[in-house]
Amino acid sequence: MKTLLTTLLLCFGLSATMKAQTGKQLPTEMVQFFLGNWTGEGAFASGKKIAADLSFKLSLDSAWIMYEHTDKAPNRYKALSMWGVDKQTGQLTDYIFDNFQGHRQFFADGWQEGKLTLTRQIPRPTNNVLYERFRYEKLSSQSFKMSYETSTDADTWKLVDYLTFTRK
């Protein structure tokens, strides 16, 4: 009995120590919702159609969600994203790497009421800033809408494109 109690206390202590070292974790509800494969259709702001396939899976001991985005022809955009929690700030962060040799980092306040908004600021030479954001909105247990938007003032947003995804 004493050995069992010692083992339980040791395991509890290690678990608490590990959580303290890693900080916040990805929101469980968000992880459970996105994991898996999705297919979607939508349009650019111009009305031109767009379609893509997505895949979400846990990576690096469940510390990150690895998210692959592949546009369907005739579009060619492909991206690998890593969603996780920044150890210093506790903010949800997204690193995006794409097939056009681009890389970007976005931040979010978290998964709130079935919504995730990832935003970044890009300083521009004319002393102003361009803002970008991806918005993910859960529509049902089997669907969500993703929108990509830009802004010059962080108040008025211009749609670039959107897609509505369903689970495969």
Range(s) of the domain holding residue 126: 26-167
CB neighbours of residue 60 within 10 Å: 10
**How far is Cα 72 from Cα 164, in angstroms, rounded to an integer?**
14
Residue 19 lies in a domain: no
Indicate whether 149 pLDDT > 50. Answer: yes
**How far is Cα 124 from Cα 84, in angstroms, rounded to an integer?**
27
Q: pTM for this structure?
A: 0.84
Residue 84 lies in a domain: yes
Distances (CA, A) of 91 to 96, 108, 110, 112: 16, 6, 7, 13
Residue 63 lies in a domain: yes
Structure confidence at residue 24 (pLDDT): 84
Q: Which residue has the higher pLDDT, 19 or 23?
A: 23
Q: What is the pLDDT of residues 83-101, one digit of tens each?
A: 999 999 999 999 999 999 9
Q: In the chain, how many domains are there?
A: 1
